[in-house]
Structure 1
Amino acid sequence: EREMFVETELDSGLRLRGIIDRVDVAPTGEVRIVDYKTGKAPRPEYAEDALFQMKFYALVVWRLKRVVPRRLQLVYLGSGDVLTYDPVPADLERVERKLLALWAAIREATESGVWRPRPTKLCGWCDHQAVCPEFGGTPPPYPLAVRAAESGA
């Protein structure tokens, strides 16, 4: 399939969804998930970050179709490089735990109205320094009413 929409709900109630560029199914039933990037491949020290999206897709497919994809493949059209990874269930369970922790942090920030900045080397290029606490700025008020979020919402 191409541009396959996938969606599943975890036991926690957290709903995951995405659009996978390409899903290949071999006659043996093995699944390969492929994503295309227009740029160049990242340096090796950033490969793990690049693979997070692919592991996310693999988790959704695993939960949805009950099959762990055999291969995850990132194709970088800008450089012609291909980054591959063969996941196992333990990898995908770690991704699920990471997503649940991330969602908990988002819910906490939504409930408190406090969103802490995460400075990186790219901050010097940011157009929002005037309203960023990292640069002495004050963020504008949170635009939505702060309320307790519903479980899994």
Structure 2
Amino acid sequence: GIIDRVDVAPTGEVRIVDYKTGKAPRPEYAEGALFQMKFYALVVWRLKRVIPRRLQLVYLGSGDVVTYDPVRADLERVERKLLALWEAIRQATETGDWRPRPTKLCGWCDHQAHCPEFGGTPPPYPLPVRTAGGDAV
């Protein structure tokens, strides 16, 4: 992702703004939309050593503005989640074991022919798979 806008106040406080062309998501999906913003805040915090004062999602389709004021503990949780996700990706890359995670959106997916969840056959894994002993297969 690319941060759409970063405002820095004379006091040094930072606001990160992201513009969305559609409408605001329903409340049950708002946390997923904020994850992107929290990721941006984490990057700014780790690179610039400042926790952004405010995160804003501006939905141009509906005119809604969603704001969130991050705190250190929340950004640390995001960082732990990202590290766990990265570890899962690393393990799947080493083993070639990429399991589907079905959701309600799977019915809309164009890749069902390749997805084991729909009886499809994934394409051959392009990287060497390592055994438990570390040998490539």
The two structures have a TM-score, normalised by structure 2, of 0.91
Hey, what does 2:101 align to over in structure 1? 118
Contact 1:113–1:142 (8 Å) recurs in 2: yes
2-side partners of 1:22 and 1:147: how far apart?
Answer: 43
Greater C-alpha radius of gyration = 2
2-side partners of 1:93 and 1:33: how far apart?
Answer: 18
For residues 48-106 of structure 1, give each alpha carbon's deviation from its aligned partner in whole angstroms, at most 9, with x where no partner exists.
Answer: 11000000000000011111100000000111100000000001000000000000000
1:108 and 2:108 aligned: no
Hey, what does 2:65 align to over in structure 1? 82
Indicate the SS of the match to 2:4: strand
Give the letter for the 1:92 counterpart.
L
For residues 96-123 of structure 1, give each alpha carbon's deviation from its aligned partner in whole angstroms, at most 9, with x where no partner exists.
Answer: 0000000000001000001000111111
2-side partners of 1:147 and 1:62: how far apart?
Answer: 36
1:59 and 2:42 aligned: yes
Hey, what does 1:136 align to over in structure 2? 119
Contact 1:31–1:68 (8 Å) recurs in 2: yes
Deviates more, 1:92-101 or 1:135-144: 135-144
4+ residue stretches of structure 1 with deviation over 6 A? none
2-side partners of 1:99 and 1:108: how far apart?
Answer: 14
Hey, what does 1:98 align to over in structure 2? 81
Hey, what does 1:23 align to over in structure 2? 6
2-side partners of 1:27 and 1:131: how far apart?
Answer: 53
Hey, what does 2:135 align to over in structure 1? none
Give the letter for the 2:77 counterpart.
R
The structure in which a higher percent of residues are strand is 1
Indicate the SS of the match to 2:100: coil
Structure 1: unaligned runs, 5 residues or longer: 1-17, 149-153
1-side partners of 2:21 and 2:79: how far apart?
Answer: 27
RMSD: 1.3
The structure in which a higher percent of residues are helix is 2
The two structures have a TM-score, normalised by structure 1, of 0.82
Contact 1:71–1:84 (8 Å) recurs in 2: yes
Give the letter for the 1:79 counterpart.
S
Instruction: Report the number of matched residues.
Output: 131
Q: What percentage of residue pairs aligned between the two structures are identical?
A: 92
Contact 1:110–1:147 (8 Å) recurs in 2: no
